[in-house]
Structure 1
Amino acid sequence: MGKIDVLNGNKAAAWGAKLARVSLLAAYPITPQTPLVEYLATFVAEGEIDADLVEVESEHTALSVLQGGVFAGARTFTGTSSQGLALMYEPYIRTSTMRLPIVMALVTREVISPQTVWGGQQDAVTVREAGWIQIWCESNQEVLDTVVQAYKIAENKGVLLPVNVCYDGFSLSHMAERVDIPEQEKVDSFLPKPDITHVKLDPANPMSVDPLTAGPMLTEYRHKQVTAMNHAKKVIEEVRQEWFQLFGRDHGGMVDVYRMEDAEIAIVCMGSPAGTARVAIDEMREHGIKVGMVRIRVLRPFPVEEMKTLLSGVKAIGTIDRNVSFAAGYGTSYLELLTAFGGKSMPPMIDFIGGLGGSDVTLEQIKQAIVLTQYVANGGEYRSVTWFGLDEVDIESLFEDSEQEAKEGIV
């Protein structure tokens, strides 16, 4: 039988690695990922996990060690955040281009400067073009479940790409909640032992790994990476269905939806703000606003078709981002949706940026976003991007007295 425990996000991720029976661990501590390393070290020290834990001097070395482990056939795990991710960037790129199915917890945090150790999603979205699959979690239960699922996705013979399991620093990593820990035997039936043969250290059958590669061959190699990334969409959905059949939990596949059946407007978000958005949506429904939510669960590969199917019929979209693109001044969700639709048959869309540097994306802010999105759906014009906490949001000036009910609980 499994068991129920109260776990923070870092311990949930450690449990996921334990249940996946990883055999090689290497990580360097960095806030807010540090407790993850401590939990893993405790599991190894107490004999609860049969794995080698390599103590390294940096994040660069941590991921390099795991690359060698995969060559030897090991199932590997690590985690990092922010500047640690920046330091491991060289082996990070190499991991995906060598098609190594490593799973890494990416505990999101702002990047410097200015100096900060608090939450934000800037680190993860900055590397979204590095060839890793990125799965974003809303809850600690999803963190545990997704770490296990990630191995089945990464080690699929048609995928063979590394996976980042992304969860918000402090909002999830340090906050505890009820988590259902599945029994080991059921996890074993879901996740077979690794069978990594496309790269292998074998003196009897030597192979050249990552040789100097000429342009035409490199072009073919990149094309195969893209093909594998696209194939991952199908595998992610298959893994979702199998997990639900075995464990009765469904966090979504490429996307997760809430109250979209009759929605006239939609909020799109990623990570922990989705939990607050659910509460805001329920409250605004009581005021007659037919709003739903689409949570981006997988950022890479991006769920283009799913988004177009879900959002083409709504009257307006409001995206909520805990990050910003310095090129465009919008958040990642906003820009990704623009690309997905390609400017064709796209509902009006406005963006909201908040939750930077550890600040909250509050219930009141999401309710404001819903009301403003409804205003745009009704034909009103509003600024394309709003920065929570900086831009003044004057709901009163936008609505007539006849819409007083829609303002209640907002102003």
Structure 2
Amino acid sequence: MLEQCEGSHAVAQAVALSRPEVICAYPISPQTHIVEGLGELVKSGALEKCEFINVESEFAALSVAIGASAAGARSYTATASQGLLFMAEAVYNASGLGLPIVMTVANRAIGAPINIWNDHTDSMSMRDAGWLQIFAETNQEALDLHIQAFKIAEELSLPVMVCMDGFILTHAYERVDMPDQAQVDKFLPPYEPRQVLDPNEPVTIGAMVGPEAFTEVRYLAHAKQMQALDLIPQIASEFKAVFGRDSGGLIKTYQTEDADTIVIALGSVLGTIKDTVDDLRAEGVKVGVLGITSYRPFPIAAIREATAKATRLVVIEKCFAVGIGGIVTRDVRSAVQSRPQSVYAVVAGLGGRAITKASVHKLLLEAIADKLDLLTFLDLDWAVVNRVLDREKKQRRSGPVAEGVLRDMGSAPVRVA
């Protein structure tokens, strides 16, 4: 049924239709509306046979989900930014224990300085924690991916993060096709855990493992991620058969068949990039788009095949590794190694900065002319950066960097007495 609703509402409905048995989360913007919506559904009785557990922190939220999942309950939680960092130990525990928890990450920048707006720094900080990470481009895809995530997680007995851009998607109102309970039940069977704590059949979950076996245990976590490379497209195909639309999978391509230049990105920015590519196509420029849906596991073979005919790749990413550069770009370079392709890293949209068609248009023309540096920061104000660096050379006590930048931009922070 078509419905005009907030992205958070769409996700809450999708999770509820997946029949979770335990929901636990601590509110942090911009994911709060999701768990508020689920709390209301549980309280009203609309979501039956589900316990909503109030906790005192994000660490507690995932810890409760771990306990619930180990006891055989379909479990869900959500977080963002500093909240994800606070539960970091539990993030590694959930994947190390092989528990099929689904967690929404409403992507948001990490401080300091404090910033509540969108980029991908939070989920990227946990990219190697053993969770599957799938990224939504639209609210329809966010809805669909949550339903698929439960099936993927439970088939592999691995946790899944569904990443959606904070505010850009979570708080945006879009039309979505909301499935009914019968459709979801047809697609997603009742939870049948691969491992469960049962007093009648005792097992040890979370045992101490020494050097003689630790490598093998860790390798098996990697092997399961490799299995996901086959399972994710399979489940996307099953989803299409039930719901009648393409959603999910490893990657998605747009006008790449004859493209000399292919732009690669994750999340909602793909919409802006596609619009820009349409304009460039109208000008006769052969450019296409590759969207990465599955970031972990990273679809090396799919990316390599989809970019085989391109001369250059431009990776636009909302995060970077301080001291080296683009995170997604390094993974893309590993996928196309040994090829004579230029791979440009473009860091954009940090802390919620707008990524405009005009900026992307200019950027792509520079890339096509091979005038880009290997690492570019889109719309960076070099005058401000250089003033701060120059001041630090001249003054020992030059003050906090963030305050210096704000003052140079004419928007000094408010001091509270």
Task: Judge same fold: TM > 0.5, yes or no.
Answer: yes
Q: Structure 1 length normalisation: TM-score? A: 0.91
Q: Structure 2 length normalisation: TM-score? A: 0.89
User: How far apart, CA to CA, are the structure 2 residues paired with 1:332 and 1:271?
Assistant: 15
Give the drift of 1:333: 2.1
Q: For 2:378, which of 367, 388, 394 is the aligned residue?
A: 388
- Count matched residues: 381
SS in structure 1 opposite 2:77? strand
| Aligned twin of 2:209 | 213
| Aligned twin of 1:398 | none
1:347-367: CA deviations, max 9, x gaps?
112122111111111111221
SS in structure 2 opposite 1:295? strand
Q: What one-letter code is carried by the residue in structure 1 that aligns with 2:160?
A: V
| Aligned twin of 1:338 | 333
Q: What one-letter code is carried by the residue in structure 2 that aligns with 1:384?
A: L
Give the drift of 1:391: 6.0
| Aligned twin of 1:401 | none
Structure 1 vs Structure 2 CA RMSD = 1.2
Q: For 1:278, which of 274, 277, 280 is the aligned residue?
A: 274
User: How far apart, CA to CA, are the structure 1 residues paired with 2:132 and 2:162?
Assistant: 9
State whether structure 2 residue 170 is matched by structure 1 residue 173.
Answer: yes
Q: What one-letter code is carried by the residue in structure 2 that aligns with 1:33?
A: Q
1:12-65: CA deviations, max 9, x gaps?
211111111111000000011111111111111111112100000001111111
| Aligned twin of 2:404 | none
Q: For 1:350, which of 337, 344, 354 is the aligned residue?
A: 344
The question of whether the paired residues in 1 share the 8 Å contact of 2:22 and 2:74 is answered with: yes
1:269-312: CA deviations, max 9, x gaps?
11010011111111110001011000011110001001111112
User: How far apart, CA to CA, are the structure 2 residues paired with 1:36 and 1:224?
Assistant: 33
The question of whether the paired residues in 2 share the 8 Å contact of 1:318 and 1:369 is answered with: no
| Aligned twin of 2:158 | 161
Q: Which sits farther off after the overlay, 66-75 or 127-136?
A: 66-75
CA 1:346–1:95 in 2, change beyond 3 Å: closer, same or farther? farther
User: How far apart, CA to CA, are the structure 2 residues paired with 1:67 and 1:104?
Assistant: 12
User: How far apart, CA to CA, are the structure 1 residues paired with 2:51 and 2:30?
Assistant: 23
User: How far apart, CA to CA, are the structure 1 residues paired with 2:363 and 2:131?
Assistant: 31
| Aligned twin of 1:373 | 367
The question of whether the paired residues in 1 share the 8 Å contact of 2:232 and 2:248 is answered with: no
User: How far apart, CA to CA, are the structure 2 residues paired with 1:391 and 1:332?
Assistant: 22
State whether structure 2 residue 57 is matched by structure 1 residue 58.
Answer: yes
Following superposition of structure 1 onto structure 2, how do residues 249-264 of structure 1 map, counting pairs within 5 Å? Answer: 249-264=245-260
Give the drift of 1:382: 3.0
SS in structure 2 opposite 1:206? coil
User: How far apart, CA to CA, are the structure 2 residues paired with 1:204 and 1:243?
Assistant: 36
SS in structure 1 opposite 2:281? helix
State whether structure 2 residue 14 is matched by structure 1 residue 20.
Answer: no
State whether structure 2 residue 332 is matched by structure 1 residue 297.
Answer: no
The question of whether the paired residues in 2 share the 8 Å contact of 1:110 and 1:123 is answered with: yes
User: How far apart, CA to CA, are the structure 2 residues paired with 1:269 and 1:226?
Assistant: 24
1:374-394: CA deviations, max 9, x gaps?
112xxxx431122122167xx
| Aligned twin of 1:185 | 182
The question of whether the paired residues in 2 share the 8 Å contact of 1:312 and 1:346 is answered with: no
| Aligned twin of 2:129 | 130
State whether structure 2 residue 9 is matched by structure 1 residue 11.
Answer: yes
1:157-200: CA deviations, max 9, x gaps?
xx2110000001111111110010011101101100011032x2
Identity %: 35
The question of whether the paired residues in 2 share the 8 Å contact of 1:18 and 1:49 is answered with: yes
Q: What one-letter code is carried by the residue in structure 2 that aligns with 1:145?
A: D
Following superposition of structure 1 onto structure 2, how do residues 294-333 of structure 1 map, counting pairs within 5 Å? Answer: 294-329=290-325, 331-333=326-328
User: How far apart, CA to CA, are the structure 2 residues paired with 1:246 and 1:204?
Assistant: 38
Which runs of no fewer than 5 residues in structure 2 stay unpaired? 383-417
Q: What one-letter code is carried by the residue in structure 2 that aligns with 1:345?
A: R
Which portions of structure 1, spanning 4 or more consecutive aligned residues, are displaced by more than 6 angstroms? none
The question of whether the paired residues in 1 share the 8 Å contact of 2:144 and 2:248 is answered with: no
SS in structure 1 opposite 2:92? helix
User: How far apart, CA to CA, are the structure 2 residues paired with 1:169 and 1:254?
Assistant: 22
| Aligned twin of 1:240 | 236
1:321-353: CA deviations, max 9, x gaps?
111111312x222111112223x0141121221
| Aligned twin of 1:404 | none
